Amino acid sequence: MNSNYLVLVRHGQSTWNEKNLFTGWRDPGLTQKGIEEAHKAGILLRDKGLVFDLMFTSELERAQLTGQIMLDEMDCSDLQTIRNQKLNERAYGDLTGMNKDEARAKFGEEQIHVWRRSYDIPPPGGESLKDTYNRAVPYFEEAILPELQASKNVLVAAHGNSLRAIVKHLENISETDIVKLEIATGDPIIYTYSDGSYTRS
């Protein structure tokens, strides 16, 4: 039975991550730490001997740059790369650009917790994790899965919430449990894909 790889990587630390701001679809670059995280992720995958056939990423710079740095470390800088906004971070609506501590002071700790950690309650003008799931997972099924089925090794450089949505789908995680899942910046999640099933390694 043939098997191949799917690797998901959240972008390295961005300048807004560093400032503790709700980022969403805004487009800040990486910090020096974020750049180093991307290099380490690329080196890790290179040292594991993984070779990719194509990369998917979002329309946002922090994910694109993370992916490109990783490709550079793996000596495949010119790998085919497909960008799509369906892999973008969750949109935070009215919270976008706010410091998370200031948002708690303005709206209350409990309300911010609900907006950040519930599955299907969005902040005003923004997306819930469910909304993010409803765009990211169909895109995964339509665009990424056929490449895996064609025995290609696929790298996805995206964002905490779009990747949480995909992980929920791949691992059949409940709506209750997925809100507890954190995806670290620059830390590759490696799956073996074989005959329709995904095994995290």
Catalytic residues: 11, 89
Tokens 């490696």, residue? Answer: 190
Residue 90 annotated as lining a ligand binding site: yes
Residue 91 annotated as lining a ligand binding site: yes
What tokens were used for 19? 């400032």
What tokens were used for 3? 């098997």
SS (H, E, C) 30-44: ECHHHHHHHHHHHHH
Residue 83 annotated as lining a ligand binding site: no
Tokens 């819930």, residue? Answer: 128
Q: Which amino acid is at 123?
A: P
Q: Which of 90, 91, 96, 46 is nearest to 71 (CA)?
A: 46
Residue 133 annotated as lining a ligand binding site: no
Residue 25 annotated as lining a ligand binding site: no
Residue 34 annotated as lining a ligand binding site: no
Residue 15 annotated as lining a ligand binding site: yes
What is the CA 15 to chain-centroid distance, rounded?
Answer: 17
Binding residues for substrate: 10-17, 23-24, 62, 89-92, 100, 116-117, 160-161
Binding residues: 10-17, 23-24, 62, 89-92, 100, 116-117, 160-161
